[in-house]
């Protein structure tokens, strides 16, 4: 404390030196009083500063104490977390080993699941059941679910496995059911309108008596642009109108392509049109032969019936049948012939007169039978010429370019054989009928001639 007083005094002296020099008149007492006041102010300032420094030091000491306390708490928590981390690390290792064990047990199941999902995705995509069972709003479709599971690198969730099982189960159970529901159907004019649809499993669908085709790209049913003909369309109408019992139905095991192929198959008129001019000529020749054969068949059936009636009444010959005319020719002017030679000549003449009528058109039909394949061969040659021209013009053997000519060639061949074979059978039938009637005429002629010879022998 004495040292501090000396310092303060020295400072006061240093400060007073200029004042003493400036004011010589200031007295020593005044200087002492001022020095005392300055010491008092200095002491007060130093006291304040000392108090502030002590307060600041106490604050810093408190902060250091708090920091040490926080450090101790953090260190304790760190030790606790470290211990918990070690425990959980051990638990993680145990769970990882358990997971590997479960994955090893489920690895084969996961592989089968992915394979089944991949195979089922295509089936569900082509199935028209998707139209009846669309995905809910905000939910992925059946096909998308299957493709995602098939491409997944991790095990699917239980919800995904459950839905996968449900979709496969529904697809299998609905395969054996006939259902009636309402769906949007695309009409041939391009408009889409709701209509009642009857489906037979995933194979066939009909609406308003028309067969429907399923477009998987648009997930929509549409009326087939070309139907299957009146008979099969009637089957579709009966199926749609049925409410119970059993009815006929067309089932396409390929789920659509076969029905499309049957619908696109050309009918008889279209095949003839595809044969062009040669085809028309062949059909005309066949119709002419068929009409002639039909007329001759009618004539021979009537004639055979008349001859059969005449056989039951030989004593009264009638001119409306060949046998009656032969009998009348044998009798001539009403008298029996004088000799067997005359009788034989009369009978031979009468039979020969009837034979041309009985064998009418048979030679013409044999000509048509021979001409049919030849006309078909002409069409075949024309078709091959068209094919070669197409190859020459295009410079390549594109099957689509060659199809028209080859088709015309084959159609002409089929048409030629198609008229030759039926006309051959018709001609053989006519030959059999005419030979049968001729046989009856010959038998009766021989019988009359034998009677005439017997009478001549007795006389």
| pLDDT 10s digits, 233-245 | 888 888 888 888 8
Assign residue 17 a region (left: φ > 0; alpha: ψ between -120 and 50; beta: otherwise).
Answer: alpha
Q: How far apart are CA 169 and CA 266, in angstroms?
A: 40
Residue 95 reports pLDDT greater than 50: yes
pLDDT value at residue 118: 86
Question: pLDDT tens for residues 270-289?
Answer: 777 777 788 888 889 989 99
Domain ranges of the chain: 122-262, 273-458
Q: How far apart are CA 208 and CA 222, in angstroms?
A: 12
Q: How confident is the model at residue 10 (pLDDT cuts 50, 70, 90)?
A: very low
Residue that the structure tokens 């004019």 belong to: 189
For the record, the structure tokens of 104 come out as 């090893």
| Average confidence (pLDDT) over 353-359 | 85
pLDDT value at residue 124: 85
> Which position has the higher pLDDT, 428 or 399?
428
pLDDT value at residue 423: 92
CB 207, CB 223: distance < 8 Å? yes
Question: pLDDT tens for residues 22-62?
Answer: 444 457 888 888 888 888 888 888 888 888 888 888 889 88
Q: How confident is the model at residue 327 (pLDDT cuts 50, 70, 90)?
A: confident
pLDDT value at residue 426: 92
Residue 303 reports pLDDT greater than 70: yes
For 95, 100, 109, 114, 120, the CA distances from 154, given in Å and listed in that order, are 17, 13, 12, 10, 19
Q: How far apart are CA 5 and CA 108, in angstroms?
A: 98
Torsion over CA: 413, 228, 217, 252 (sign)? negative
Question: pLDDT tens for residues 198-231?
Answer: 988 888 888 888 888 888 888 888 888 888 878 8
pLDDT value at residue 294: 92
Residue that the structure tokens 């007083």 belong to: 5
pLDDT value at residue 333: 53
pLDDT value at residue 340: 64
Query: Backbone phi, then psi, for 210, in 5-degree steps?
Result: -110, 145
| Average confidence (pLDDT) over 318-336 | 73
Q: How far apart are CA 360 and CA 300, in angstroms?
A: 10
CB 440, CB 307: distance < 8 Å? yes
Average pLDDT along the chain: 81
Question: pLDDT tens for residues 287-301?
Answer: 999 999 999 999 989
pLDDT value at residue 455: 67
Question: pLDDT tens for residues 100-138?
Answer: 776 665 667 777 888 888 888 888 888 888 888 888 777
pLDDT value at residue 334: 53
pLDDT value at residue 421: 92
Assign residue 51 a region (left: φ > 0; alpha: ψ between -120 and 50; beta: otherwise).
Answer: alpha
């Amino acid at each position: 404390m004495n040292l501090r007083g000396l310092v303060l005094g020295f400072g006061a002296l240093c400060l007073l030196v200029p004042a003493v020099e400036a004011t010589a008149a200031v007295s020593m007492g005044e200087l002492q009083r001022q020095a005392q006041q300055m010491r008092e102010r200095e002491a007060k300032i130093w006291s304040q500063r000392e108090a502030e420094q002590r307060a600041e030091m106490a604050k810093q000491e408190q902060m250091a104490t708090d920091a040490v306390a926080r450090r101790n708490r953090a260190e304790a928590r760190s030790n606790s977390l470290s211990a918990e981390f070690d425990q959980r690390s051990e638990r993680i290792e145990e769970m990882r080993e358990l997971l590997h064990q479960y994955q090893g047990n489920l690895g084969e199941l996961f592989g089968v699941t992915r394979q089944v999902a991949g195979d089922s995705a295509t089936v569900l995509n082509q199935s028209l059941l998707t139209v009846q069972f669309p995905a809910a709003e905000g939910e992925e479709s059946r096909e998308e679910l299957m493709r995602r599971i098939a491409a997944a690198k991790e095990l699917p969730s239980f919800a995904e496995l459950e839905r996968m099982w449900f979709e496969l189960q529904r697809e299998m159970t609905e395969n054996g059911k006939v259902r009636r529901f309402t769906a949007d159907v695309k009409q041939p004019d391009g408009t889409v309108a709701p209509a009642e649809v009857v489906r037979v499993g995933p194979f066939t669908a009909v609406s308003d008596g028309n067969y429907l085709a399923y477009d998987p790209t648009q997930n929509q049913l549409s009326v087939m642009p070309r139907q299957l003909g009146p008979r099969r369309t009637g089957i579709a109408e009966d199926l749609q109108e049925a409410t119970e019992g059993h009815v006929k139905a067309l089932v396409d095991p390929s789920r659509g392509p076969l029905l499309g192929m049957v619908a696109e198959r050309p009918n008889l008129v279209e095949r003839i049109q595809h044969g062009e001019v040669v085809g028309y000529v062949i059909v005309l020749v066949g119709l002419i032969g068929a009409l002639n054969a039909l007329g001759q068949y009618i004539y021979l059936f009537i004639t055979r019936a008349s001859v059969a009636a005449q056989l039951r009444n030989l004593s009264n010959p009638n001119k409306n049948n060949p046998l009656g005319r032969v009998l009348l020719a044998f009798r001539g002017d009403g008298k029996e012939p004088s000799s067997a030679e005359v009788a034989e000549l009369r009978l031979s003449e009468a039979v020969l007169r009837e034979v041309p009528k009985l064998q009418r058109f048979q030679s013409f039909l044999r000509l048509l039978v021979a001409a049919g394949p030849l006309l078909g061969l002409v069409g075949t040659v024309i078709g091959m010429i068209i094919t070669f021209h197409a190859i020459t013009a295009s410079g390549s053997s594109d099957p689509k370019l060659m199809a028209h000519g080859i088709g015309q060639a084959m159609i002409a061949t089929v048409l030629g054989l198609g008229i030759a074979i039926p006309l051959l059978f018709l001609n053989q039938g006519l030959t059999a009928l005419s030979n049968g009637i001729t046989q009856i005429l010959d038998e009766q002629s021989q019988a009359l001639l034998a009677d005439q010879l017997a009478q001549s022998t007795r006389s």
